[in-house]
Structure 1
């Protein structure tokens, strides 16, 4: 048995991906998570959930390790240094570039091992599992590749390293560079080394050009670029669906049972991701997402719309338990699928309209939607109007609690409000008036039912007293002025009740699993933005710097954070949080003319 360097724990992970697949790699260069053949597929490397699937490297005498992204790209570099002075650098990426008039983004990843100094003594740790940890796939040897095949999984790893050493986990001296390409079970058109070098150059060029096109604020540039690239890696470009995170079942806090599968497209999360990238003038994601949304709207025929779908419009996301996997830090269950697909969440109607509204106005798009697309959206508005004062599971997807949630009602207002604005833009005066009147009626209802004189705040639900950080978004979407005393009072009430240290909880009432024990990082960003809007910008800047300090070593965030230890919890990377970095930086940054 080959000696192994210990597996890294926690969420100090880097991401490589290309819009088809994405993998998570720890500080020592081990793949902890990779799903095939797409973002929501079956994990073949699953050690993040304490399964046996991994693709890593053991190095004799390992003394130091470090990790960083190549500037402004999704290319990850891991550096391993041994006591004898040997140095190995692992370059990981997933190929993505323009080829023959379209984007080349296969279900493939590349690993290049570069000898920087000495002759590192290494062993490759390679194990593949199927059926969510139930089955270890037996490798089949080829001349210069290893094949893996199960009922649902089939791929090969091609390499110019000694195949026998790789298959047996044999220790050997690495005296020259070696390459691994994991891809479909097909022979490569060129030598693995030549192909990987070509893919590397073209992938690096793609990311350099993509990052250069972003309209970023002058402050916190590195943080914003990394957040934007991370969001891009969460887009399944074949359909335009955007996953909420790349993982399943990382708990919200220790032993919480709040373990969910986030590898699907929540309309809510996708709306936030699209608008954040729009803010940076990255329009391609909006164009892809418009296709996905138009299909959802078409399928709904003016009726119920689920809050979450599969990235290829799958409606059935039945939740099951992967019994063979112990879970993150042995804290199961590991869930596959998500019951939220069965929920009633009325905020989705507003998020659909908000998510595509810019496309009607932005002349940079190749094809702007017009009257036909507006008419296709109107049934969504009708549904929003009908449901704005009806109970639902709310933005936090309570499983046994139904109320008329304020945040849902506000989003229903947003659907009608934006339809009115789109109608005005298209010269449809009668429809402008129609939707303006409906928006006005919802607006009056929310002001009457959700405002609490006793709390001096808008509450989580109509007629309730509990507070919810999601109502902070009402100023951002234009429901109410940030200078309105009622909004200022709401910010102050949330600050008094939901703030712990420099972090904000989404709520503090008991839910289906008790009281939350970690802060929801997206809510902290919403609070930071609210502080800036009500004139407390210096404080907002300080809190923003603080939350940036909770990111991992590569600038990435998960869903939740322990307010005492700063430890990251929840699924990773959380798109909500990467959105928060972009939005807060754009709001708080000085202008370019103020600093140069």
Structure 2
């Protein structure tokens, strides 16, 4: 079985990424893009499904210490053995043409025997390549893929794998470089591994020089910003939700989805996080990806797209992989792409509005796209949908979906009034207010004093915590105070927040999942907005304590197992961390500007009185 999810670290080149285990094994890598087939898929199976391990030889388990080199995505894994201390340094240089993995073995103390095992299995562990050796190069080819290994160490084949045994002495540095290229093209020239490592450190440090955050949680925020950058597909500006597919929401369960795509609902959260951190170029690139991807028929707006804006993401099961912790099926693609989820219309409109507020470089096409979206939403907001959580059951009138339809009309009105764009603001205001009235009438349980998951439902949903963050209702409105109280009573478990009770979704899958980390960040934001600062900081510090040893978070956490669950690392979790840190920081500076997605004041116009 693979290592616990939290025992992996990330390296990447802003076009794809690899996961490195504590034992020095790269167990996941898709080439050449995030959503390409994996050449190392041991994460979802066994070593024979592909991995690249470099570690001290022998059966004795060494003591391991890991860290990222300062202000970089260059990973150091240090092994302490009876023979001495050795360090494996891993990175993926931001590419000029082909993707590379660079690994440098450094002798720190003594003489340490080392073993390398390279198991290449293209197409998610299903294809054994043909291996050849030429002068200075070891090459593996199958179908469209080819990998070339360059190293001064002598390697040889052994049972359909490539292995090497060598010894590293104090002060010695031994490079290994793995280069991918299309199999029909000549192999790229050898890469100087030591030089590439130094260049990669310099590249990341130059990028970090633009970071403006200097607050109390600098290490956590900077690591989260670095994670977002690593999950960015540089050629287009798209940001994938995670680097992996099918890491389970419950060990042994079936809620195993492919997250190597770009979700529209991440748009505004991510714009905020990048802009607050000082990375306007990345925020502008993300906004531009958004505009290109959503262009077209507004009634066919998708909830997610490929990294270059692809629309077809067919879902398949890979039956030959046993799954992480025997969690099957292993899926690639995502059938939720075909769902109607009304909240994404609000997310797109909010992102465009915030781009104006942040004074991002203007995109002349964006308002034309917005007008098309608003035309559809004129009647489309009345439809039931699949909701924020993409449940695979019957469509419902989910509260959060209706609220985000309200957001779309609200931001459209504000864009016309504040930035001089053309549009029927008076009419949009009427529709916005009608949605507000309907939500307050049909999604509020006056007996329990809380908003509910859907019209006529008794269920709660953590997405209700976003209502004050988008400006739909004041955080101190009695209805919202009651909703927070109800969520604390019914959805909190061991100090963290569930998305909802999974038995209530009727999606045909067995119940049960971990605690969705973004929801707990949203609760901390509500505490800030309600003035409950001690509780906000306590919850935030608890969430920081769930990060792994190199500062990464998955999608969920299971307190009873003390394990991270879900795809990893999760952009949504790290965006939540960044935004909550900024909210808390503003309070410490005693500024009235609380970070909220609607605006820095955050009150909706003329909300109706509490019932």
- Give the TM-score normalised by structure 2: 0.90
In structure 2, the residue matched to 1:229 is: 226
- Give the TM-score normalised by structure 1: 0.92
* CA shift in 2, pair 1:591/1:207, >3 Å: farther
In structure 1, the residue matched to 2:607 is: none
In structure 2, the residue matched to 1:177 is: 173
Deviations along 1:385-414, one digit per CA (max 9) or x if unpaired, are: 322231111011111131110111111111
In structure 2, the residue matched to 1:493 is: 486
Deviations along 1:60-82, one digit per CA (max 9) or x if unpaired, are: 35521111101121111111122
* CA shift in 2, pair 1:490/1:211, >3 Å: same
In structure 1, the residue matched to 2:473 is: 480
Shift of 1:592: 7.5
Q: Secondary structure at the match of 1:95?
A: coil
Aligned residues of 2:252 and 2:326 also touching (Cα < 8 A): no
Shift of 1:333: 1.4
Q: Secondary structure at the match of 1:154?
A: strand
CA distance in 1, matches of 2:224, 2:194: 26
CA distance in 1, matches of 2:587, 2:532: 18
Q: Secondary structure at the match of 2:14?
A: coil
* CA shift in 2, pair 1:296/1:200, >3 Å: same
Moved more, 279-288 or 11-20: 279-288
Aligned residues of 2:2 and 2:44 also touching (Cα < 8 A): no
In structure 2, the residue matched to 1:310 is: 306
* CA shift in 2, pair 1:428/1:23, >3 Å: closer
Aligned residues of 1:14 and 1:24 also touching (Cα < 8 A): yes
CA distance in 2, matches of 1:383, 1:105: 41
CA distance in 2, matches of 1:349, 1:318: 23
Q: Secondary structure at the match of 1:174?
A: strand
Structure 2: 5+ residue runs without aligned partners?
A: 591-611
In structure 1, the residue matched to 2:106 is: 114
* CA shift in 2, pair 1:331/1:514, >3 Å: closer
Deviations along 1:185-230, one digit per CA (max 9) or x if unpaired, are: 45555x64xx333332332222223223222251111000001100
CA distance in 2, matches of 1:583, 1:440: 28
Task: Give yes or no for the alignment of 1:333 onto 2:329.
Answer: yes
Shift of 1:373: 2.6
Moved more, 380-389 or 234-243: 380-389
Q: In angstroms, what is the RMSD of aligned CA positions?
A: 2.2
In structure 1, the residue matched to 2:288 is: 291
In structure 2, the residue matched to 1:76 is: 75
Aligned residues of 1:455 and 1:465 also touching (Cα < 8 A): no
Aligned residues of 1:62 and 1:81 also touching (Cα < 8 A): no
CA distance in 1, matches of 2:571, 2:435: 29
Q: Secondary structure at the match of 2:108?
A: strand
* CA shift in 2, pair 1:528/1:563, >3 Å: same
Q: Which of 324, 344, 352 lines up with 1:356 in the alignment?
A: 352
Deviations along 1:333-380, one digit per CA (max 9) or x if unpaired, are: 1111111011111111111122232222433x4x3134x531221111
Aligned residues of 1:144 and 1:163 also touching (Cα < 8 A): no
CA distance in 2, matches of 1:437, 1:199: 59
Q: Which of 477, 499, 523 lines up with 2:519 in the alignment?
A: 523
Deviations along 1:442-475, one digit per CA (max 9) or x if unpaired, are: 2222122211102211111112221100011011
Task: Give yes or no for the alignment of 1:45 onto 2:40.
Answer: yes
Q: Secondary structure at the match of 1:136?
A: coil
In structure 1, the residue matched to 2:603 is: none
Shift of 1:104: 4.0
* CA shift in 2, pair 1:437/1:209, >3 Å: farther
In structure 1, the residue matched to 2:593 is: none
Structure 1: 5+ residue runs without aligned partners?
A: 1-5, 97-102
Q: Which of 259, 277, 280 lines up with 1:280 in the alignment?
A: 277
Task: Give yes or no for the alignment of 1:413 onto 2:406.
Answer: yes
Q: Secondary structure at the match of 1:139?
A: strand
In structure 1, the residue matched to 2:420 is: 427
Q: Secondary structure at the match of 1:118?
A: strand
* CA shift in 2, pair 1:381/1:430, >3 Å: closer
What pairs up with 1:2-151 in 2 under 5 angstroms? 8-51=3-46, 52=48, 53-60=50-57, 61-85=60-84, 87-96=85-94, 104=96, 106-151=98-143
* CA shift in 2, pair 1:36/1:286, >3 Å: same
In structure 2, the residue matched to 1:581 is: 577
Moved more, 166-175 or 50-59: 166-175
CA distance in 2, matches of 1:274, 1:165: 48
Q: Secondary structure at the match of 2:389?
A: coil
Shift of 1:436: 2.7
